[in-house]
Amino acid sequence: MLTTPDTLAEARQRLLAWFEANARDLPWRRTRDPYAILVSEVMLQQTQVDRVIPKYLAFLAAFPTLESLAAAPTAEVIRMWAGLGYNRRAVNLQRTARAVLNDHGGTFPHEVAALRELPGIGPYTAGAVACFAFEQDVAFLDTNIRRVVRRWLVGPEDQEPTTSERQLVALAESAVPAGQGWLWNQAIMELGALICTATAPSCWRCPLREHCQAYAAWRSADEQIFNLPEQRPARPMRRVAERREAPYAGSSRFYRGRVVDALRNLNPGSHTTLAALGPLVKDEFSPADAAWLAELVVGLARDGLVELDGEQVRLPH
């Protein structure tokens, strides 16, 4: 943990200077429009920056304002989401827009607590909108920020596995410099994306290196390797856990995506039947799969992604 105000001040100054020199020019960094910030944050939750940029620009061209998104047929919003995956995000985004319009007169709340009351907004998104749109000095954790805060202020993931989310949020809060929340959170996020990556952190070029708990632990282990060659522990860098994701093809999410893709290809407003949908969703679809498909579609209807009327199914209006 950081021990002195001087150490913290120095780390802040180094990280902010690094960001000034290395920040990517991303379109959502050029705006403070809370609607545009919300769109970017929802897209970025599960999708890489490079894939989000063209989708973000196209989405804002199609729905340039909160009002236009709120008024659009949900089917159109889902169509514009094509290629991003996790289609539920599109429906939730529109629900948020409608709630801001109907419950807040079209003006986004500025405070995290009020933002969290909106449908589809979790602690991360609320913090990100409060910070990136309204420049509030708040802390929030996405995957990148969490990883940097943990390594910098606590230590390697495998050596401090019990640190709670609440503790990490408190540490992140303690690090935000007054009056510079926007810059700070952008900087720490960028460090996690470009330098302090999950499997291969580039500590040698990291501005936090001198104050980093994880780096100190790894370096200490390296020195032990040098001094005690016969008792070599595994190199800490190799123990950084790799994310192992369940196979996507064949998963429920895979087939949910195929249902939505098939419905996107229908003419706007038109239906299809579950029986016709089956072969579009699953190769070698057979009558024995009918109950499975119905269950899948019922789940999508529950999430607001499709409309199911008996055997008829389509994107929602």
Q: Annotated catalytic sites, by residue? A: 41
Closest approach of ligand SF4 to the CB of residue 305, in Å: 38
- Cα 68 to Cα 53, 83, 108, 117, 120: the distances in Å are 20, 21, 15, 22, 18
Q: Which residue lies nearer to ligand SF4 by CB, 146 or 282?
A: 146
Q: Does 193 help bind ligand SF4 (rule: CB under 6 A)?
A: no
Q: Does 60 help bind ligand SF4 (rule: CB under 6 A)?
A: no
Q: Which residue lies nearer to ligand SF4 by CB, 197 or 272?
A: 197
Binding mask 200-239 for ligand SF4 (x = CB under 6 A): -x-x--x-xx--x-xx------------------------
214 Cα distance to chain centroid = 24
Closest approach of ligand SF4 to the CB of residue 156, in Å: 8
Q: Which residue lies nearer to ligand SF4 by CB, 193 or 308?
A: 193
Q: Which of 130, 125, 135, 136 is nearest to 109 (CA)?
A: 130
Q: Which residue lies nearer to ligand SF4 by CB, 201 or 316?
A: 201
CB atoms within 10 A of CB 92: 20
Q: Does 240 help bind ligand SF4 (rule: CB under 6 A)?
A: no
Q: Does 42 help bind ligand SF4 (rule: CB under 6 A)?
A: no
Q: Does 148 help bind ligand SF4 (rule: CB under 6 A)?
A: yes
Q: Does 35 help bind ligand SF4 (rule: CB under 6 A)?
A: no
For residue 292, what are its two tokens? 């499975």
Residues in 150-189 that interact with ligand SF4 by CB under 6 A: 151-152
Beta-bridged to residue 309, according to DSSP, are: 312
Q: Does 266 help bind ligand SF4 (rule: CB under 6 A)?
A: no
Quick one: which segment of 40-48, 148-156, 164-172, 271-279 binds ligand SF4 (CB under 6 A)? Answer: 148-156
CB atoms within 10 A of CB 237: 15
Phi, psi of 281 (to 5 degrees): -95, -40
Among 196, 277, 300, 305, binds ligand SF4 (CB under 6 A): 196
Q: Which residue shows structure tokens 């990556």?
A: 197
CA 212 – CA 196 distance, rounded (Å): 11
Which of the 8 DSSP states describes residue 308?
E
Among 195, 259, 296, 305, binds ligand SF4 (CB under 6 A): 195
For residue 94, what are its two tokens? 């529109």
* Count of residues that bind ligand SF4 according to CB under 6 A: 13
Q: Does 145 help bind ligand SF4 (rule: CB under 6 A)?
A: no
Closest approach of ligand SF4 to the CB of residue 154, in Å: 11
Q: Does 12 help bind ligand SF4 (rule: CB under 6 A)?
A: no
H helix runs in the chain, sequence order? 5-22, 34-44, 49-62, 66-71, 74-80, 88-103, 112-116, 123-132, 143-153, 165-175, 181-194, 213-227, 236-239, 252-264, 274-281, 290-302
Quick one: which segment of 42-50, 114-122, 145-153, 238-246 binds ligand SF4 (CB under 6 A)? Answer: 145-153
Q: Which residue lies nearer to ligand SF4 by CB, 141 or 297?
A: 141
Residue pair 317/310 in contact (Cβ under 8 Å)? The answer is no
Residue pair 299/307 in contact (Cβ under 8 Å)? The answer is no
Binding site for ligand SF4 (CB under 6 A): 148, 151-152, 195-196, 201, 203, 206, 208-209, 212, 214-215
